[in-house]
Structure 1
């Protein structure tokens, strides 16, 4: 045989082996994604995604949800998990937090994962690209993420069309719209007012997000007269709509005791009263991290497991200060049923997650619900509502 033919033959076989091997790996991964198996995800897919650019990984997850590349679940929510946030009836208390589906691309896929409710956004009046890349960083050792996306989204008009189309097809799925302000806006409060006008006809609830650390000076709207002015204006606009949608306020975890009490005082007054608080957004703190990597020095908001205790303690403080008068949604570090239970007993009527999904995959949703229903029963509760704020009450009984 001619040496040239031998070389060509070997090269052809090598290419074939690479194609077959790559195809096998992709098929193996696709089956794992489709099955939603959490063990498979943690052992095989999570390390693979960890080697990718985190933002590319995020977009891949949105693509999977958008195109329904997960098999139909057999899990059925037990009666004990049904609950309420004010006027909203939820099949279960586990919600998808804002930040994952920024432009309302994959709501149906998220509903298929088993979330009891979905929050999209943050959405700004005008489309914006957000901050320069890279802007998302994984801290594998801490099961945490730092992001400084900066409200990248496709804007009110495009997102409204998608939410309207989705709600027309799936009217029973609870969808909240998290509202933000454009970075270059000269009147950020007006941006929130515009969001209330645009989405009041399609959203089940609206969130005033003034707690992102990734838009310069945005958190100043949480303070004193700024917050009072903001809430008076958006509530006035909300009340002028033909459909009165519940209005929630999302706060930061990096609040002083005085800031927390000031917010409680404001949201309790008649003219600035909100229908719920989301506690909390990402943190700028880095002291809670174990990793020695310089990645932790990247500016942005930290989410994930390290935030759990901080956010749960803040839920308890808000619940105590408000005396349970305004519903609280607990967010930050929820990665299992025990963590969800801690937030509920601290005072949360429901919980949301996002970062845990990146580390454990879609199977985590049903696992949390299974574990939560078990821990509720084992502690003698017949419903979520019975458990809300029970830890503070028990502590008070001891005194």
Structure 2
């Protein structure tokens, strides 16, 4: 669901639930608490960086609660990971309010794959590196001191290191202002129904009885099979889905594709918090991945953002022995705040704003903007063609 990738949880477990431990010293140079996408990506880039030397790295990987998911992402140029996607697209059908408009991507590629494929790609490098010890365990507590950091596991074992990169959970117990809830449904039709070269991206056109905050993405993997994402953006304390999503999926396939007869192969469900404040790191304890607020606040996409963050942290550790996360852009936090307020207080206006983004300029510029890779001049071009006046109400800035 997860530039960017948006994640939706699914029911599968990894083929390998236990990993043999090569060695178990008590002291390390770096501990990676959490072996999901962020922890694995960081271990992968550390392993491949020539400047890491003989650093001892501990990856604490709790595999008991894995739920593999489909990952939707886009990239410009070469992805920093040798990954074969399930499907890729350079043509998008986007919702402009007056219907779907087909637009071409000239620099980006939109792709979909599974977290299981991503993990297999990362694990092949991680497990071949003798400097990395992997423990299948759960982190219970992290205590940062002035010169060391201690990590205590749920079974009572304790390890120390010069630094700890933590992706286990967002540190704040405060509910996020918004959540994105939904599912990704893998469907198969009885006849050719989809164009495998075109992805429908964030279609907000409502069906009968649907709320304005619901959207659909259709990602064909063949002429008869597709991944259909049904999502909803709501306040943090709101119910997940007011209407059964299986009924919403069936209505969308009938209305948008003329499909009445289909079967559901798998269903993945998930919840993504939006708008969590980026926490400050405490000395030698550094938050990474979703726990660091790297997921894009207004869309829920995070896959390529997590990869690029991991690359930068690995480079900083290799250069000076101290992991450092890239600074968040104040300019883009400024852009995100009123859009989050729009979703919170006026979902109808938020939908109009999102539609205007893809209706006004080329899609590549929009994706660059969502990746926070545009210049102020490009942002002036983009925002100048959008109804930014609706963002100026004071309540959207609180």
Determine if the TM-score, normalized by the shorter chain, exceeds 0.5.
no
Greater RCO, CA 8 A, separation 6+: 2
Greater helix content: 1
TM-score of the superposed pair, with normalisation by structure 1: 0.25
TM-score of the superposed pair, with normalisation by structure 2: 0.25
Greater C-alpha radius of gyration: 1
Greater strand content: 2
